[in-house]
Structure 1
Amino acid sequence: MTLIAALTFLILAVIAALHFAWAMGLTFPAADAAELSRMVTGFKRRDLMPGKPATLLVSVAALLAGFWALMLAEWAWLPVPNWFVGLGGIVLTAVFLARGIAGYTDRWRRLTPEQPFARLDRKYYSPLCLVLGLFFIILTLGYLL
């Protein structure tokens, strides 16, 4: 379980760092904001990234989710009841599995048709969310049982 928690934290910390960098104006790995938006949001006719507050919120949420993985493995601690840690694990499992599954639905594809996002989503983003959901299932069950 400790390897899964560490890997989950590392993946989510990298995602958090990317979102933080994007909030600060970096466009890596794209050439400009319009290309980055088409790469990471995929929404129709959207040439700008979401605003700084929204992107920072995603960064903080990803980092908190990674920290939660460490709490489920009992590597980290917050002053919250044990049942709350378990509940957080269940919620994170549901969020990542739902996002992973959504990437393979027609409705999501109609909502986010822009390339290269649509291709990257099916190849990388959605599978990564499914893996993270699986990791949170394992961590949450290990914590609760």
Structure 2
Amino acid sequence: MALLLTVGVGAVAVLHGMWGLGSHWPEASEEALARSVVGDGRRRMPPAWQCFAVALVLSLMALWPWYVIGRISQPEVLAGTYMIAGIFVARGIAGFSHRWKAHFTIEPFATRNRKYYSPYCLLLGVGYIALVAGELDR
């Protein structure tokens, strides 16, 4: 489970880092990328420092499962894992809310959020919960 979470979250961290460096991948332009991954009507991506900040937080979340192994009995480790799971679950659920859908209307983000981004966040959240469950069983 730790490897799956590291790869799954780490890949998203790498994407944010690439965007911070100015890459437009997987789109042809910055405007197309903003429409695909931000979806609030902006024509430019967020500033590089914001992309790097998200990449840093995601990198720490990607490495967290390796810290958890053998330490799940420590209350702060258990709480940290549930916090990470909660962040992903909250983002996943929020993406299906009426308020979210009213604010993030730009395509292709709106469709990709419904089909891919929000379900992926929910899956990652469940993965961190499964990590806890697996460690508690040991």
- Residue 138 of structure 1 corresponds to 130
Q: Write out the 4+ residue segments of structure 1 that deviate beyond 6 Å after TM superposition.
A: none
Q: 1:68–1:85: 8 Å Cα contact kept in structure 2?
A: no
- 1:94-133 per-residue CA deviation (whole Å, 9 max, x = no partner) reads 1010111111111111111110001111111011001001
Q: Confirm whether residue 61 of structure 1 aligns to residue 57 of structure 2.
A: yes
TM-score by length of 1: 0.88
TM-score by length of 2: 0.92
Q: 1:13–1:63: 8 Å Cα contact kept in structure 2?
A: yes
Instruction: Give the 3-state SS of the residue equivalent to 1:10 in structure 2.
Output: helix
Letter in structure 2 aligned against 1:60: L
Q: Confirm whether residue 46 of structure 1 aligns to residue 38 of structure 2.
A: no
> Aligned match of 2:5 in 4, 8, 17?
8
Aligned pairs for 1:1-145 (under 5 A) are 4-43=1-40, 45-74=41-70, 82-144=74-136
Deviation of 1:136 after TM superposition, in Å, equals: 0.7
Structure 1 gaps of 5+ residues are: none
* Structure 1 CA distance for aligned equivalents of residues 83 and 121 of structure 2: 14
- 1:39-82 per-residue CA deviation (whole Å, 9 max, x = no partner) reads 00111x200111111100110111100111222234xx8xxx93
* Structure 1 CA distance for aligned equivalents of residues 103 and 66 of structure 2: 33
Deviation of 1:141 after TM superposition, in Å, equals: 3.0
* Structure 2 CA distance for aligned equivalents of residues 54 and 6 of structure 1: 26
Q: 1:86–1:144: 8 Å Cα contact kept in structure 2?
A: no
* Structure 1 CA distance for aligned equivalents of residues 69 and 103 of structure 2: 36
* Structure 1 CA distance for aligned equivalents of residues 136 and 83 of structure 2: 14
Structure 2 gaps of 5+ residues are: none
Question: How many equivalent residue pairs?
Answer: 136
Q: Identity over aligned residues, as a percent?
A: 35
